[in-house]
Amino acid sequence: MINFFKKKENKNYNNNKIKLQLSDKFPWISNLEKNFIKLSNQDINIRINEIKNLKNYFNSTKGLHQLLDLKNSLVKSGYPENAAQLEIDFFLELFDDTTIQSLLFNNAAGLHLHFNDGIFNQKIKINKEFGLIRTSIGKVFIVGSSNTLLPVLTSMILSYIAGNNTVVQLSSLHATCIPNFIENLPFEGVNHIHFTNLYREKEEDLLLIETLITNLNWNVINVWGGNDSLDFYNRIISKNTYRPRIINMEPLTGALLIQQDYFEKNLDINIKNLSSSITVMGQQLCSSPTIGFLINYNMNESIDNIFENLIIDMEQNYIPSSLDESNSIKLDRMINAAKDKGSKVYISSKYSNNICIIISKYQSAFNEYNSSHLLNIHERRNFIEIVCVDNFSEIYQIINNLFNNFSYKDTKKIQTLLSFGDKTFDSEVHKLASLIGAYRIIDSNFVLRRYPMEYFDNYNLFSEFTNLISVVGSKVDNL
């Protein structure tokens, strides 16, 4: 009995010790409430103008140097140079007047009701008996993914504009370069955006992350990441008795849909667009096509013409990847398995199997194969299997069973349908998207980028980072 109470006492002591470590490591914790009140009382238009003014800063000599330092840091951490530049180019679009207008006054989310005479009105009358006040929500915790910067940077900026204190847990890939970049920007946000720089792999940091998430009264926790990351954070979020709003951005992937006769009408342009869609960001985006479907197909020499020329175009943008010996063996195994199943295999004359397109009929060549011996979609680069089908019902059946496959086991579903087809074709794409629960139907311009009015996987982030107060009855007169 004595030993039992002694263990319990030690546990409480350790918990208190961790909390003290947390306060020592992050002195900004003690000011979160005070800073929230400050932001809450500030006119949102001050922050909107602050963000707009950063556009001019990034065109200045100092701003350009800072962007170059960020790019060099990304390249040093393993980013291909062209991918790092793409990230920065799209990041800069965040500060464009048109982008800000679309993000903050999004018609699709009803945010346009807040727009009046060029400013954001937090108090609005919908009719004589109903109005709304949109306010900051409080404290936001964001977990960034490792594949791309844009989502976490977008969340961070929108949370600040909304008037929240924002704390960001970054992947190890971005843990140094992003804080250095943000903390040196000339805006008040540097006092309201904080970084943890903790690593789950370190036991001491792991305890600090758990304490940080479970003990503070977070209003929103926004997690970008794979299944392991989501499982970890959702498990510890469940221990937070304040019950924060959870925004999970889950691991998703893309599918390609080609109407052959449509594709061939503008063959050169469509090949270039498809090539960039497959290769951009190493095929690791949630929108990157990792499986394709060819409808209204004709298995003649025109098929060879399409995919031989696609291989040639992909060669021009080829960036060597560090496939280990095990993955090279898996890649060879996949190609041989496809050939054994009667699929057509197109590989590069310059880079051999490292650029590969497989054309199968009616079903994937890998359906009956032990998928644990194959490359999963996170290990694939410049690789896609395209299945020839007669109709969209067959596509639905294939996609419906796709995530039982080992290669897709860490992916929840199809996020994006990349369509090369006419209006009639796209009407079928719309039905398919509804059946499989896809979030996006796009052309090739939007594999990496998002249109500012888009929802992020069914979430309007700015709305999620705000609190809505309903004003009802005669009280509407006082808005």
pLDDT tens digits, 31-55: 999 999 999 999 999 999 999 999 9
What is the structure's pLDDT at 440?
98
Tokens of 249: 């951005």
Q: Are 90 and 127 in contact (CB under 8 A)?
A: no
DSSP 109-155: GTGGGGEETTEE-SEEEEETTEEEEEEE-SEEEEE--SS-SHHHHHH
Per-residue pLDDT band for 13 (boundaries 50, 70, 90) equals very low
Tokens of 203: 């036991």
Per-residue pLDDT band for 323 (boundaries 50, 70, 90) equals low
- Check pLDDT > 90 for residue 445: yes
Instruction: Name which of 63-72, 269-278, 280-289, 370-379 the model is least confident about.
Output: 370-379
Judged by phi (left if over 0) then psi (alpha if -120 to 50, else beta), residue 413 lies in beta
Tell me the average pLDDT across 142-169: 92
CB atoms within 10 A of CB 388: 23
Per the listing, tokens 């896809």 go with 438
What is the structure's pLDDT at 281?
86
- Check pLDDT > 90 for residue 443: yes
The Cα-based distances of 124 to 87, 114, 117, 118 in angstroms read 36, 6, 13, 14
Measured CA to CA, the distance from residue 227 to residue 370 in angstroms comes to 22
Tell me the average pLDDT across 307-324: 86
The Cα-based distances of 386 to 2, 288, 345, 363 in angstroms read 68, 14, 10, 9
Measured CA to CA, the distance from residue 217 to residue 469 in angstroms comes to 20
The SS3 assignment for 370 reads coil
- Single pTM value for the model: 0.90
